Structure 1
Amino acid sequence: MSKKSLPTVFISHGAPSLLLEDISAREFLKELGKKYSYVNAVICISAHWMTQEPTINMVEKFDTIHDFYGFPPELYRIEYPANGDLELAQLTSELIQNSGIPCELDNKRGLDHGAWIPLKLMFPKANIPVFQLSIQNDMDPEKHYALGQAIGSLRQEGVLILGSGGAVHPLGYAPLRPGAKTDQWALDFDSWLTKELKIGNYDVVKNYSKFAPTPEKAHPYPDHFMPLITSMGAAEDGSIGDIIHHSWYWGDLGMGAYEFIL
């Protein structure tokens, strides 16, 4: 395996129809895949897999989970038959357990849409091995940051640590629809997040519910923020969050993406 140390990355995956729509976030993910075409594997921390304890899906070839409803029929016909990497999945489980965090293995679960939709855009040939790490039901930022720290050494193994959630994800608060305008509170949260990440102020970001403007609107439920926290934790010490994409989708869905780099 390559010993090139990679950045960690967080992307916003928006709605499942991202795969079909001609928007800038879709084109960004295509280009991001080209940039990282050399990686040995991808570990995706998706907002759409929640468990009691951290869990790795250790599968040789993944099924595609169409875990959404009300979208165009063609989306349900798309498959992403990616291979897993059993050795790396096992290594990741051991890294987590060796850090004092319990970790379980799942030998059946496929890829949810928070993983396979961005990966379909990034690596359309499904030629990069992939596996997932779950987020936890307690939605504790400190625990998710520690989880990221536990797996950070995967960067030296040529593994791209990819958090997939939403920079601003107001599902349950704001009506989301094509053509909707972006509200000021969403702009304010997004600006705050970018500013704090850019200076590496990770302790403040971890405590976003205390320091951010309108966190209860930007993330009524914090599932889409935990992958960002984990990606931060996995980054090299002293890193900052460099914004690599910025756009809005369906009004208030913030599609910000960040690389955590020195």
Structure 2
Amino acid sequence: MRQPTFFLSHGGGPWPYMDGEFRHAHAKLEASLQALPASLPARPKAILMISAHWEASAFTVMTSPTPGMLYDYGGFPAHTYEVVYPAPGDPALAERVVALIQAAGLPVARDAARGFDHGAFCTLAPMYPDADVPVVQLSLRQGLDPAEHLALGRALAPLRDEGVLILGSGFSFHNLGLMFNGRGQAPSIAFDAWLQAAVPAPEGRAERLKDWEQAPAARLAHAREEHLLPLMVAAGAAEGEAGSCDYHQTDYLGGLTASSFRFG
């Protein structure tokens, strides 16, 4: 009952906790996230969440049994700074993650204080609204080396056979300077077309992802690549297995193309 892995485009800010036009812009994404649990081979024992919104000098693992909240956004309604996603942590899984990363020779650290950031709780809320699946969050590593994050995914792969669902939360297009003025449409289309070609076939996928900067409109789609690196982790944890597009939208926020991907 091996769990698949996912790279999820997580949308903008605290959208699941809002109403109106901004929430409506996420309707297709929301539907895909709501449908995800039913597509799994079994209910996960826990979730390991790699969010674009956490970078550290070493791969850092959340160890708290009761994680708090981190409202890492600005300019949204006051109530969105009071929302709570009360999923429990899983200290035993956190230690298992530490051990796997250490065994792979990668730098690792623990953090008992960090709470869930919006890359985590805004994807999890539509998926598991009762917050009844334990969640451990794991950081990216500063430097944002694609090869290193693919290696991280390979190190974490055994968790899939232990009932753990590995989720990489980022965004297939993330250039805030182009998102809201219409100039992001063309580069989002071009980069997404590359992703649709690069992700499905496992043969040579790691090399394609390592060389992502050579893709059409790569640096227009990702002026900084932290929102793309969770894809590397999800792909690395499913090396040798096919990928497929799990969510695809061509009219996000008025014209952007966005996608999520499943592996295995």
Residue aligned with 2:209, SS: helix
- 1:239 matches 2:241: yes
Of the three residues 6, 14, 22, the one matched with 2:11 is 14
State the partner residue of 2:187: 185
Residue aligned with 2:121, SS: helix
State the partner residue of 1:101: 106
TM-score under structure 2 length normalisation? 0.91
CA distance in 2, matches of 1:79, 1:226: 26
Contact 2:146 2:209 in 1 (8 A): no
Per-residue CA shift, 1:171-190, capped at 9, x if unaligned? 2x31427xx58622210110
Shift in Å at residue 251 of structure 1?
4.2
CA distance in 2, matches of 1:175, 1:24: 18
Per-residue CA shift, 1:207-258, capped at 9, x if unaligned? 1102x001110000000001001111111x3212210110142246543111
State the partner residue of 1:39: 44
CA distance in 2, matches of 1:240, 1:168: 22
| AA at the equivalent of 1:25 | L
CA distance in 2, matches of 1:220, 1:252: 19
Structure 1 alignment gaps of length 5 or more:
none
Change (3 A) 1:174 1:100: same
Shift in Å at residue 164 of structure 1?
0.1
CA distance in 1, matches of 2:175, 2:242: 25
CA distance in 1, matches of 2:36, 2:144: 28
Correspondences of 1:1-262 after superposition (within 5 Å)? 4-19=1-16, 20=18, 21-22=23-24, 23-36=27-40, 38-171=43-176, 173-176=177-180, 183-200=185-202, 201-210=205-214, 212-235=215-238, 237-247=239-249, 248-251=251-254, 254-261=257-264
Identity of aligned residues (%): 36
CA distance in 1, matches of 2:147, 2:90: 28
Change (3 A) 1:175 1:259: closer
CA distance in 1, matches of 2:256, 2:262: 19
Per-residue CA shift, 1:93-144, capped at 9, x if unaligned? 0000011112111111111100011101110101000011100110100011
Per-residue CA shift, 1:42-65, capped at 9, x if unaligned? 000000000011010001011111
Shift in Å at residue 34 of structure 1?
3.8
Shift in Å at residue 170 of structure 1?
1.5
Residue aligned with 2:168, SS: strand
CA distance in 2, matches of 1:253, 1:47: 19
CA distance in 1, matches of 2:256, 2:51: 16
CA distance in 1, matches of 2:221, 2:254: 12
Contact 2:52 2:229 in 1 (8 A): yes
Contact 2:150 2:206 in 1 (8 A): no
| AA at the equivalent of 1:15 | G
Structure 2 alignment gaps of length 5 or more:
none
| AA at the equivalent of 1:224 | H
